[in-house]
């Protein structure tokens, strides 16, 4: 979060960025500040916009822009909501699917619609894919691997569970699997 101290700008316009993070989501509000904007003049000392939001900053800055990222354990998808200076509460969303979710509980200038982001944040998307693939693999094949391990430790056939401890077999007499 930027350390904001009252001050003055030499330029006519600048911007203010506010960050809010919660479990599985991050929101960044970016707004114009400066003479004639209706917002007090402040001096942000640090730019907190992440790289995926900075790539979108090539568009001219509207009055208010909200970058929204979602995903866990890493942010994996993002979108942007823009409000032009003439609109009071109307946002235009880019890269999002309006899922009919209720608006965020924020009030005032920080309110913005909720939507399902569709643009990938590639490092986070890849990390999340590997993370969930590992969990799915463990849930699918983990119990079978544990069962084979336990049967092998007890001296049973890993395939059918037949007790091989009393006889010297090269193959299981029940199922024919290699002992």
Q: Which two tokens stand for residue 1?
A: 């979060």
Which residue did the predictor score with more confidence, 131 or 5? Answer: 131
Where does the pLDDT of residue 62 fall: very low under 50, low under 70, confident under 90, or very high at 90 and above?
low
pTM to 2 decimals? 0.69
The pLDDT tens digits of the residues spanning 103-141 come to 655 555 566 777 889 999 999 999 999 999 999 999 999
Confidence tier at 5 by pLDDT (50, 70, 90):
very low
Confidence of residue 93 (pLDDT cuts 50, 70, 90): confident
Residue 61 has pLDDT above 70, yes or no: no
- Return d(Cα 70, Cα 72) in angstroms, integer: 7
| Spatial contact of 126 and 132, defined as CB atoms under 8 Å apart | no
Angle at 105 between CA 100 and CA 110, to 5 degrees: 100
Lowest mean pLDDT among 49-58, 126-135, 148-157: 49-58
Confidence of residue 9 (pLDDT cuts 50, 70, 90): very low
């Amino acid at each position: 979060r930027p350390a904001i101290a009252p001050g003055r700008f030499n330029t006519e316009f600048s911007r203010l960025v506010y960050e809010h993070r919660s479990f599985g989501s991050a929101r960044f509000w970016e707004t114009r500040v400066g003479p004639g904007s209706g917002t007090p003049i402040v001096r942000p000392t640090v730019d907190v916009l992440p790289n995926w939001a900075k790539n979108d900053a090539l568009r001219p800055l509207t009055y208010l822009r909200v970058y929204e990222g979602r995903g866990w354990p890493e942010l994996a998808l993002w979108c942007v909501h823009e409000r032009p200076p003439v609109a009071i509460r109307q946002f235009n969303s880019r890269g999002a699917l309006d899922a009919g979710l209720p608006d965020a509980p924020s009030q005032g200038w920080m309110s913005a619609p909720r939507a399902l982001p569709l643009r990938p944040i590639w490092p986070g998307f890849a990390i999340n894919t590997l993370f969930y693939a590992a969990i799915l693999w463990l849930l699918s094949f983990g119990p079978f691997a544990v069962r084979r391990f336990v049967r092998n430790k007890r001296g049973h056939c890993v395939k059918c569970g037949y007790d091989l401890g009393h006889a010297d077999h090269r193959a299981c007499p029940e199922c024919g699997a290699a002992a």
